[in-house]
Structure 1
């Protein structure tokens, strides 16, 4: 093979075959050549055979594979949509159940609170009644003790007055007169 620089520097005239080829044009498009015509005919026959082979055998198989794939994808999408609808329904049911549970819990809490209030009120009423009874009993005891103390005070006042009069006057006073005088004095104190 000749180096490029050398081939480029030599004129085409030095190589008569190249000069002839240059004059005729591209040999692939020289239809005067019988070899080219046979190649074009065989190309058409092979192309037609490949076309018929693909149209009758290859492409229907590819089409059936694509149709099966489309059917599976559609089935999967339908299943996914059905699963999504089921999940959405389950979520809606769960939310409704949660709202119902919250409402029931709120009602239970309100009921328990109301029962606790009633129980506390009943307990407070019972306690108040017991305390009132205890207070009434204590007041009665205090009143009885006060009456007893007043009675004891009256007796002590009568005895003291009788002893004082006996010592001061030198004679024993009349018990009725001393009692009347002490009762008058106690009544004047109670009024004033």
Structure 2
């Protein structure tokens, strides 16, 4: 940096000396005309050397400020921003992957739940059908037993009714025979009643 400033100063001094020599060579008339000329101060050729010197100094300082302070800060900000963007993109991609994995796990859990529910329904259906078949078989057996009991009871009632009817018929027949003045042969009366009732029951 110091060497750059020294070179700039040397160059400015050389240009200043050249300008002074050129002004002296043109004579007093040119110097007098330049002194009386009306215009912008920065266009005065007698100050070109000084202007060039300070221009070089200003550019050097500006370059040093930009290269040492401004540009590193800008580069750091850009780098941080780029890192933040990259991190956000990576986080978004990670969240996207996790969302896909969660969706796949949810679909698998739902499919497993449906399969398990189907198994439970099938098992319950088979169990219910088994219990229903057992209940029907038990009901059929109970109905058959009650029907047999009813048939037996009906048979007993029928036999009892037939016996009662036979006894009544024997008594009535014996009384009728006695009423008409005949002799009552109980054996003949019983045989006649039995034959008559047997024919009626067939």
The TM-score bracket by the shorter chain reads 0.7 to 0.9
Residue 184 of structure 1 is matched in structure 2 by 195
Tell me the C-alpha RMSD between the 2 structures. 2.7
Residue in 2 that maps onto 1:133: 145
Residue 74 of structure 2 is matched in structure 1 by 62
Distance 1:40 1:157, change over 3 A: farther
1:173 alignment partner in structure 2: 184
Moved more, 174-183 or 117-126: 174-183
Aligned length: 166
**Higher relative contact order (CA closer than 8 Å, sequence separation 6+):** 2
CA 26–124 in structure 1, closer or farther in 2 if over 3 Å, else same: farther
Aligned counterpart for 1:157 among listed residues 162, 169, 177: 169
* 8 Å contact from structure 1 (residues 162, 178) kept in 2: yes
Return the offset for 1:140. 0.6
1:106 lines up with 2:118 in the alignment: yes
- Structure 1 contact 162–172 (Cα < 8 Å) conserved: no
- Which of residues 51, 70, 85 in structure 2 aligns to 1:73? 85
Cα offsets for 1:84-116 (capped at 9, x unmatched): 212321221122112211221221122112201
- Is the CA contact (8 Å cut-off) linking 1:158 and 1:178 kept in structure 2? yes
Distance 1:26 1:161 in 2: 177
Give unmatched runs, 5+ long, in structure 1: 1-23
Structure 1 residue aligned with 2:107: 95
TM-score (norm 1): 0.72
CA distance in 2, matches of 1:99, 1:91: 12
Structure 2: gaps of 5 or more residues: 1-36
- Closer/same/farther in 2, CA of residues 51 and 161 from structure 1, 3 Å limit: same
Change (3 A) 1:33 1:152: same
